[in-house]
Amino acid sequence: MPYASKGWKKGVFKKVILGLALLTLATGCLGTKNKGDIAIGVAWPFESNNSMFREGVELAVKEINRDGGIKGRKIQLVMKDDQASVAEGMAIAQSFAGERQVAAVIGHRNSFVSIPASRIYEEAGLVMLSPASTAPELTKKGYRSVFRNLPSDDEIARKIAVFCSRQGQKRMVVYYSEDSYGMGLANSFEDHAKKAGIKVVDRISYYGDLKDLERLHNKWKAMDFDGIFIAGGMPAGAEFIADCGQVGISARYYAGNAMDSPLLREIGGKAADGIVVGAIFNPADIRPEVKKFIEDFTKEYDKPPGAYSAQGYDAVKILAAAIERAADPDSAALADHLRGMKNWPGVAGYHSFDQKGDDVGDLVVIKTLRDGKFQL
């Protein structure tokens, strides 16, 4: 039966090829990339929300390559704009998973993109290191290839809640954005506030206009509130503060890292003065590596670095250190070396990864906005 035999062989051949392709994808092996440049994928909403992140990443690569690269091999960046879109982010994750030259991926910025994309990276065995996604859900799935190099919302909320308690706050309102970041941060803050002896008397995500906000203010005064925690980002968080100022709300404001912006005072107005933010970068850190980073960045780009500049810079340096230490440079070895990092000195602080992929180093910086500038 020559026809049947030929078809059978063709079918077996296809299955073998498919099996080999799946095996290659699943292993995430970097062994085939032991010659030439080391490619690192970067996924970020560059066009719409760069926040000087690209500059931090590129500066780190420039320094590493200038100093001889990683064991003589230079880093090559493969940058893709995820447009802060779930669909685009997942498409990029699929493309990185299929590109055998990519050693690891830095990204994504938004938690609502990182969380669904993380499954693709995990199934491909490709390390993803997020320098911005703080939603606790990102690392709760038990994935071995998913990491972040900044504190989670839960840790930021814990530090802010403790600080609020020390400041004498007893009864607080939570204003949050209806997205994964806002809801996750609000939930974490409410949990830690309770542990710190603070009662959340109201929680809102929307108000119609200034009259509606004034009605809410009267309600909060009847509840004897003494502070507001903002679980949201810019510019919406600052616009809320500006509106509060217009209706005479003079409570103390607290917020997460997404409100750490030079535009906070400009948009929020005088009402924003005194806001306390749980930030992820301390430019006033006196450590030599921080001072050098700020000097080099400012010299290179003619402006000082922001929080995401520091996080992007650290992400590249962390991956480079892990790749250099991995004797067998595949993704499993890279993930193991990341988990083995303890108190690694970055410009954003000392990084330590736990078994879930969370960075549990002491990285939260408490800053207060005074006269338009953040101070520790």
CATH code (residue 298): 3.40.50.2300
**Does 373 fall in a domain?**
no
Picking from 279, 298, 314, the residue at the C-terminal end of a domain is 279
Picking from 219, 251, 279, the residue at the C-terminal end of a domain is 279
The pLDDT of residue 209 is above 60 = yes
**Does 7 fall in a domain?**
no
Residue holding tokens 């002491």?
Answer: 362
Query: Could you report the per-residue pLDDT of 243-267, keeping only the tens digit for each?
Result: 999 999 999 999 999 999 888 999 9
Asked if 234 and 307 count as a contact pair (C-beta separation under 8 A), the reply is: no
**Does 376 fall in a domain?**
no
- Please give the Cα distance from 157 to 305 (Å, whole number): 24
Same domain? For 289 and 316 the reply is yes
Q: What is the mean pLDDT of residues 126-143?
A: 95
DSSP code string of 287-350: SHHHHHHHHHHHHHHSS---HHHHHHHHHHHHHHHHHHH-SS-SHHHHHHHHHT--SEEETTEE
Instruction: Give the three-state DSSP class for 157.
Output: helix
**Does 237 fall in a domain?**
yes
Q: What is the mean pLDDT of residues 334-347?
A: 95
Provide the pLDDT for residue 35: 65
DSSP code string of 72-92: TB-EEEEEEE-TT-HHHHHHH
Of all residues in the chain, the percent with pLDDT exceeding 70 is 90
Number of domains in the chain: 2
Same domain? For 233 and 174 the reply is yes
Instruction: Give the three-state DSSP class for 60.
Output: helix
Amino acid at 212: D
Provide the pLDDT for residue 328: 57
Q: How far is CA 237 from CA 73, 205, 233, 298, in A?
A: 44, 11, 5, 28
* pLDDT band at residue 327 using 50, 70 and 90 as cut-offs: low
**Does 20 fall in a domain?**
no
What number of other Cβ atoms are within 10 A of residue 208's Cβ? 9
* pLDDT band at residue 332 using 50, 70 and 90 as cut-offs: confident
Same domain? For 43 and 102 the reply is yes
Its pTM stands at: 0.85
| DSSP-assigned letter for residue 217 | H
Query: Could you report the per-residue pLDDT of 110-119, keeping only the tens digit for each?
Result: 999 999 999 9
The pLDDT of residue 22 is above 50 = no
- Please give the Cα distance from 24 to 168 (Å, whole number): 57
* pLDDT band at residue 372 using 50, 70 and 90 as cut-offs: confident
**Does 224 fall in a domain?**
yes
- Rounded to the nearest integer, the mean pLDDT of the chain is 90
Same domain? For 171 and 188 the reply is yes
**Does 185 fall in a domain?**
yes
The pLDDT of residue 8 is above 60 = no
Residue 178 sits in which domain range?
154-279
Picking from 219, 245, 279, the residue at the C-terminal end of a domain is 279
